[in-house]
Structure 1
Amino acid sequence: MRVLIRADASHAIGSGHIARCLTLAKVLRDGGHDVAFACRLLPGHLLEHLATQGWRAYGLPATYAEQANAGQDIEAALPWQADIAALQQLLTVEDAFDWIIVDHYGLDHHWQTAARQWAPRIAAIDDLANRRHAVDLLLDQNFSGTPSAYAPWVGPECRTLFGPRFAMIRDEFKRDPVPIQALARRVLVNFGGFDAAGETWKAMLALSELDGLEVDFIAGTGNPEWTRMQALASGRSTWRLQTHTDQFAELMAHADLFVGAGGGTSWERAALGLPTICIAVAANQQANAERLAEVGAHLYLGPRDQVSVESLRQSISVLLANQGLRRSFAKRSRQLVDGCGARRVAAALAGEVLQLRPATIDDARLLFDGRNAEEVRRWSVESHAIDWAGHLTWLAATLVNDQRLLLVAETVDGPVGVLRYDRLDTRAEVSIYLFEGRFGLGWGRALLAGGERFITRHWPQLRVIDAQVLPANQASINLFRDAGYQQSACRFERVLKDHAND
């Protein structure tokens, strides 16, 4: 699968769009997929950083004649025709992609529709819900992602991935939770990759009058207060000031308290259960920061222009002294994020190009191991382990049974799962299981959709597909319900479109 990501970074925009897309890109590359980036050459762009990590990166003009200040307002609409034209100068007719992912507040349905000249599928990453999209998949990993929020902006054919379950966390943040110490002394401060607003300086002033603390400041490149911060930090042996670090997850894992912004780092902190004081440095961070505070996941002080040095100092003092409150923040935040969000998004993308094929006798060992896996047997109607001889007999009979269809689903990094259809006249019962490592990522939905397309070609007279599910198997109940099956007790059935009015 070939993927193009369209996103920008700059001192004004920040690095958050590139950061979260890079997390997804790494998961996709690990799965054998090819990913490229297209970014404008704004001040503070990250194209060299992407190139050094081995990514193919296309550089677009910093500004366009139609909008000379395009890089200044992170929510300003870009002249989409000029952006598409710039891409046309860089991409050849051979540059066909399976997906184009756009993570940009300034691009909407006009750009997305035009971009289909390079890809049949378009995905958008958003957290504003303020403009029309013409996409096949839309992701909002924040609390702002709700069906009602996006109802005016996407069509019914668009698949949506909403909420922290899809928060794209780098693998280094999937580790043991931060221990909540009775005596909290270590603080980590970071307000993003650039911190153009200079909030790190405010935190420095707040911490300068609190004794006995060990503090790491990750100031961001191009920080406007860098000279003053260096001077203030120079006389304090327990303060460490850096513009950037490759050990961010390690620093977070050893901190007692985090002071920072309300962007993508919110989910990294949540995954670690790191108690946090949050200040929104951009308008698009406010709603999510407020919602995280409402559910008890962090302490939110408000937009940056409403937070004084003194109020920040008092908040730090209170939270460091209150182990119970820090423990409560940690517990609640870890309930929101499990660190598998990027893999779920990658599965949603790859699921659209999932390959299904009829099983053969050469699949015997694969099917045997998959069916006997504990996670599969636990929710099977017949939960006993099968023996090898019996399995071979069953498989041989299945492969010559014209009323049974056994399908193996595969992607570039290997097999995903198995579908079995047993036909009786115009009905067929489906059974499904996934292979180890594929659970909980959304592959089941892709299998059912692909299987339905396959089986309606194989048995065109089929009218209904149904399924039997154990009452306690809530994951499968949700799977079939989300796939459009109607529940009756713990059986599901789906009337195929061509026969809905028969």
Structure 2
Amino acid sequence: MNVSIRTDASADIGTGHVMRCLVLAEELRKKNVNVRFICRELSGNLIEYIKSKSFKVVSLSSPVHSNPEYNDLKWLQLNWEADALETIEAISNQPVSDWLIIDHYAFDKHWELTLRPMVKKIMVIDDLANRPHVCDLLLDQNLYKNLEKRYEKLIPSYTTRLLGPTYLLLRHEFRNIQYATKKKDIVKRILVSFGGSDPTNETMKAISAIKLMNRPDITVDIVIGFSNQNYSAIKKYCKDISNISIHYQIDYLAELMAKADLAIGAGGSTTWERCYARLPAITIETAANQSEILSYLSELGVVCHLGRSEEVTEQDIANSIMNIINNPEIRKEMMTASESVMQDFNERLIVDRLLEENHNA
């Protein structure tokens, strides 16, 4: 069985698409499936990182932005047809793909219809529900109100829908996570992680908030990804703060979550990893597509959501941390709510469905 994955990472797009596709690719490889990635050479891409995981990557050329107002996503949306043709060229000299997996906000049914004759089946990974798709299988691993109705008018009736955290693409490092350290009633360790790129630099805001608290007794772990353009400034700022440790482009986030009593982060894929780890979190919305998810999780008591990044101040974060420290029952309720959200998770379901539908084709 051959699978091609079309996805990208960049300073603009972030790293979440690639990271969750890598989870799926690694699970497929365990079933002796041949997986190759197709990625564009954007600034802050993860092509070399994907190769370091022993996957083949077909690289598409770096775009030239003629309009300085265009970011990578906007350029790709405007040039979807050129991207589709380059993707066809990339796969034309390879064995026919049993599945083409697309995890990209820039593409919709027009891109997919262009590729359809070149592959046997198409899977789309999405969480926006803002554009139509033509695919055999759609995965949205997030939790929303009215989850079952979100894609009703956006996909064909024959499309298999895998919706909700039951189908989470959970990195293998999380699957044997230990929860014991989070049973205590005090906050002694805080994890700050805003994804791979953190374009609004919420990491620095969170560090400043922790500094405002003047609590040297609390250990702080700062996780920074390869695509974070503020790494040097953050490292310099934290140099003389003894209770802060910086972790750069790591593969042991699960270990840090297991040790942490509280997290500060955004609403990307890491949201569900925190839920799986039963880690209470203070959240800040760093992209519009996070709003619905974080608002609903706040209603469920899973997170303490502060709102959009431009509206959240250092003092807001500090006040929220101190409120949780001073009210241990809040953490306990958040842990219980997180466990409830993830109670139906099954790591085998997605790969099993891909293999089953390929067998029945």
TM-score range, shorter chain: over 0.9
TM-score scaled by length of structure 1: 0.67
**Number of the residue aligned with 1:237:** 242
Cα distance, 1:275–1:89 mapped onto 2, change above 3 Å: same
**Aligned to 1:325, what secondary structure does the other structure show?**
helix
What are the superposed Cα offsets for residues 125-179 of structure 1, whole Å, 9 maximum, x if unpaired?
Answer: 1111111101011111112472322111111111111111111111221233352
**Number of the residue aligned with 2:226:** 221
Letter in 2 for 1:278: T
Q: What is the aligned residue count? A: 356
Match for 2:294 among 283, 289, 309?
289
Match for 1:330 among 324, 331, 335?
335
> Which one is further off, 226-235 or 307-316?
226-235
How far off is 1:338 after superposition? 5.0
**Number of the residue aligned with 1:160:** 161
On the 8 A contact 2:15/2:195 being kept in 1, the answer is yes
What are the superposed Cα offsets for residues 422-448 of structure 1, whole Å, 9 maximum, x if unpaired?
Answer: xxxxxxxxxxxxxxxxxxxxxxxxxxx
For residues 185 and 342 of structure 1, the distance between their equivalents in structure 2, rounded to whole angstroms, comes to 31
On the 8 A contact 2:73/2:105 being kept in 1, the answer is no
**Aligned to 1:286, what secondary structure does the other structure show?**
helix
**Number of the residue aligned with 1:481:** none
For residues 66 and 80 of structure 2, the distance between their equivalents in structure 1, rounded to whole angstroms, comes to 10
How far off is 1:78 after superposition? 4.3
**Number of the residue aligned with 2:179:** 177
**Number of the residue aligned with 2:260:** 255
On the 8 A contact 1:166/1:341 being kept in 2, the answer is yes
On the 8 A contact 1:188/1:258 being kept in 2, the answer is yes
**Aligned to 2:355, what secondary structure does the other structure show?**
helix
Letter in 2 for 1:2: N
For residues 179 and 89 of structure 2, the distance between their equivalents in structure 1, rounded to whole angstroms, comes to 48
On the 8 A contact 1:278/1:289 being kept in 2, the answer is yes
On the 8 A contact 2:73/2:106 being kept in 1, the answer is no
Cα distance, 1:156–1:313 mapped onto 2, change above 3 Å: same
On the 8 A contact 2:15/2:227 being kept in 1, the answer is no
On the 8 A contact 1:4/1:35 being kept in 2, the answer is yes
**Number of the residue aligned with 1:280:** 285
Q: Which has the higher contact order (CA 8 A, sep 6+)?
A: 2
How far off is 1:228 after superposition? 3.8
On the 8 A contact 1:70/1:76 being kept in 2, the answer is no
**Aligned to 2:341, what secondary structure does the other structure show?**
coil
**Number of the residue aligned with 1:98:** 98
How far off is 1:227 after superposition? 4.0
Q: What is the RMSD computed on CA atoms of the aligned residues?
A: 2.2
For residues 56 and 15 of structure 2, the distance between their equivalents in structure 1, rounded to whole angstroms, comes to 18
On the 8 A contact 1:173/1:339 being kept in 2, the answer is no
How far off is 1:27 after superposition? 0.8
Letter in 1 for 2:326: A
On the 8 A contact 1:298/1:329 being kept in 2, the answer is yes
**Number of the residue aligned with 2:148:** 147
- 1:310 equivalent to 2:315? Answer yes
- 1:9 equivalent to 2:9? Answer yes
How far off is 1:342 after superposition? 4.6
Cα distance, 1:200–1:66 mapped onto 2, change above 3 Å: closer
On the 8 A contact 1:257/1:320 being kept in 2, the answer is no
Letter in 2 for 1:22: L
Letter in 1 for 2:314: V
Letter in 1 for 2:150: A
How far off is 1:222 after superposition? 4.8
Name stretches of at least 5 consecutive residues in structure 2 with no aligned partner.
none
On the 8 A contact 1:186/1:255 being kept in 2, the answer is yes
Name stretches of at least 5 consecutive residues in structure 1 with no aligned partner.
355-449, 454-502
Instruction: After TM superposition, list the pairs within 5 Å mapping 1:69-88 onto structure 2.
Output: 71-73=71-73, 77-88=77-88
- 1:200 equivalent to 2:203? Answer yes
For residues 72 and 102 of structure 2, the distance between their equivalents in structure 1, rounded to whole angstroms, comes to 19
What are the superposed Cα offsets for residues 210-242 of structure 1, whole Å, 9 maximum, x if unpaired?
Answer: 212100111333534434423332222221123
For residues 168 and 261 of structure 2, the distance between their equivalents in structure 1, rounded to whole angstroms, comes to 23
**Number of the residue aligned with 2:60:** 60
How far off is 1:93 after superposition? 4.5
Larger radius of gyration: 1
Letter in 2 for 1:116: R
Letter in 1 for 2:160: R
**Number of the residue aligned with 2:26:** 26
What are the superposed Cα offsets for residues 235-284 of structure 1, whole Å, 9 maximum, x if unpaired?
Answer: 22221123322221111100000001110000100001001111111111
TM-score scaled by length of structure 2: 0.92
**Aligned to 2:348, what secondary structure does the other structure show?**
helix
On the 8 A contact 1:168/1:340 being kept in 2, the answer is no
How far off is 1:61 after superposition? 2.1
**Aligned to 1:328, what secondary structure does the other structure show?**
helix
Letter in 2 for 1:351: E
Cα distance, 1:164–1:67 mapped onto 2, change above 3 Å: farther
For residues 162 and 64 of structure 2, the distance between their equivalents in structure 1, rounded to whole angstroms, comes to 32
How far off is 1:322 after superposition? 2.1
What are the superposed Cα offsets for residues 1-45 of structure 1, whole Å, 9 maximum, x if unpaired?
Answer: 211111110001100000111111111111221111111100011
For residues 313 and 75 of structure 1, the distance between their equivalents in structure 2, rounded to whole angstroms, comes to 38
Counting aligned pairs with the same residue, the percent is 34
**Number of the residue aligned with 2:190:** 187
